[in-house]
Amino acid sequence: MKRAVVLLSGGLDSATTLAICRRDGFEPHALSFDYGQRHHLELQAARRVAASLGANEHRIALIDLRIFGGSALTDEIAVPKNRDVKSANEIPITYVPARNTIFLSYALAWCEVLGAADMFIGANAIDYSGYPDCRPEFISAFERLAGVATKAGVAGTRFRIHAPLISMSKADIIRKGVELGVDFSLTHSCYDPNSGGLACGQCDSCRLRLDGFRAAGMEDPITYART
Amino acid sequence: MKRAVVLLSGGLDSATTLAICRRDGFEPHALSFDYGQRHHLELQAARRVAASLGANEHRIALIDLRIFGGSALTDEIAVPKNRDVKSANEIPITYVPARNTIFLSYALAWCEVLGAADMFIGANAIDYSGYPDCRPEFISAFERLAGVATKAGVAGTRFRIHAPLISMSKADIIRKGVELGVDFSLTHSCYDPNSGGLACGQCDSCRLRLDGFRAAGMEDPITYART
């Protein structure tokens, strides 16, 4: 069984991605980051999801993105509420500078140690809020980089970054997750750390999730503070 | 004055790179990593070098590469001694998987927050011990990635990774450093943490450094346990 490193945030997208990784015949090694995010509930969700979906192992890398700041997810900047996500054209304040570049760099390091060539990331270019590092051109640029950056790459390993959700709508992702047995009650998507342990129902992430369940004709199993 | 992020390890190469960054008219923001390296003396050297060469600020990012292991610099693997560095063809055990990829990812994040487009790295493809992420093809692949990975890149910023030492011999680097006023007595290059605070004189890094000073016709101002 081929090993793969799967980035696991604890949200809906990465849970579905982990399920797809297993379906595709890989042995999943799940990787999460404690990066000073304000919504620490994510990591608890990641642990539940990794256990529930049978990840071979789950490691949490401690990194500190707060030393640079610059994002509502790591800084003391308010998380925006009730934005019209889909018509908003600018990149929102919840963008964390170079986040997926940093995450994939760690995944690549772990791949080399594991002798793995495959990484899975739940990046999504459709419903997502316009983050540059969730686009196909980012994914392929990183694959090229991985080939020249590593001992394994120089020795002939062809690294592949699987982004199976990249062109799927949130509704499609939810349907796919349900089909593959993902228990979405274990996931946590909310950006706001101040909702008493519940999802706030109003940040970009909650709104995309709620819209997705609505479009899929399903009910979201988690509890919201307010919708 | 344009800002630049400079990767600073505390060794000879990155000290010279910081001096070149200043000479080229940039305001240097120095970035070091506490990555569970066994030779923690590096970080003390980095602090001294940043202060001595007038870095605008110096930040140390805490990251943990030990969670993956796989290198003599982060694992409990013995640092090789008295190898014939230049004729050795394989990549040595002191290679840290994806290290420069991870380091440049952080530099990129900080660039975005600073509004900077320039990164400096002391990578060297000649005297260095054959690390894949010290080659020109790695540098240019990362520049391409930076352009598509970031909000700033999408908005038109052209990120540039300066690797001014990449084709220089160790002797040339030493001469250049001296010319620019680098005090090499402040630097620390040794890989071995068990030499009582001194450089061991026998690991790859010490041997390359000693050979470089010899070839430059200069005396290395640091004290060695044994040469």
Using one digit for the tens of pLDDT, what is the confidence trace for A159-171? 999 999 999 999 9
Which residue type sits at B147? Answer: G
> What pLDDT score was predicted for residue B57?
95
Distance CA B220, CA B190 (A): 13
Distance CA A122, CA A163 (A): 6
ipTM over 0.90? The verdict is no
Detail the DSSP E strand segments found in A63-192.
Answer: 118-120, 160-162
Could A109 and B95 be called an inter-chain contact, meaning their C-beta atoms sit closer than 8 Å? no
Instruction: Decide if A89 touches B, using CB distance below 8 A.
Output: no
Checking if the pLDDT of B220 tops 90, the result is yes
Instruction: Decide if B113 touches A, using CB distance below 8 A.
Output: yes
Q: What is the dihedral of CA B218, B219, B222, B223, to 10 degrees?
A: 160
A137 close to A126: Cβ distance less than 8 angstroms = no
Other Cβ atoms less than 10 A from the Cβ of A93: the count is 16
Distance CA B224, CA B55 (A): 28
Residues in B closer than 8 angstroms to A148, CB to CB, are 132, 135, 137-138, 141
Mapped onto helix, strand or coil, the DSSP state of residue A31 is strand
Instruction: Decide if B77 touches A, using CB distance below 8 A.
Output: no
Q: Least CA distance to B70: which residue of chain A?
A: A113
Checking if the pLDDT of A93 tops 90, the result is no
B188 close to B44: Cβ distance less than 8 angstroms = yes
Checking if the pLDDT of B78 tops 80, the result is no
The structural domains of chain A, ordered by start, are 2-216 (3.40.50.620)
Distance from CA of A124 to the nearest CA of B (A): 14
Checking if the pLDDT of A89 tops 60, the result is no
Cα three-residue angle B192-B197-B203, rounded to 5 degrees: 25
Using one digit for the tens of pLDDT, what is the confidence trace for B98-153? 899 999 999 999 999 999 999 999 999 876 557 899 999 999 999 999 999 998 99
Which residue type sits at A169? Answer: S
Residues in B closer than 8 angstroms to A142, CB to CB, are 145, 149
CA A202 to chain centre: 19
Instruction: Decide if A171 touches B, using CB distance below 8 A.
Output: no
Q: What is the end-to-end Cα distance of chain B in Å, rounded?
A: 43
Radius of gyration of chain A (CA): 17
Which residue type sits at B100? Answer: N
Longest dimension (CA), chain B: 53
Mapped onto helix, strand or coil, the DSSP state of residue A161 is strand
Using one digit for the tens of pLDDT, what is the confidence trace for B169-189? 999 999 999 999 999 999 999
Instruction: Decide if A99 touches B, using CB distance below 8 A.
Output: yes
A175 close to A16: Cβ distance less than 8 angstroms = no
A2 close to A43: Cβ distance less than 8 angstroms = no
> What pLDDT score was predicted for residue A126?
76
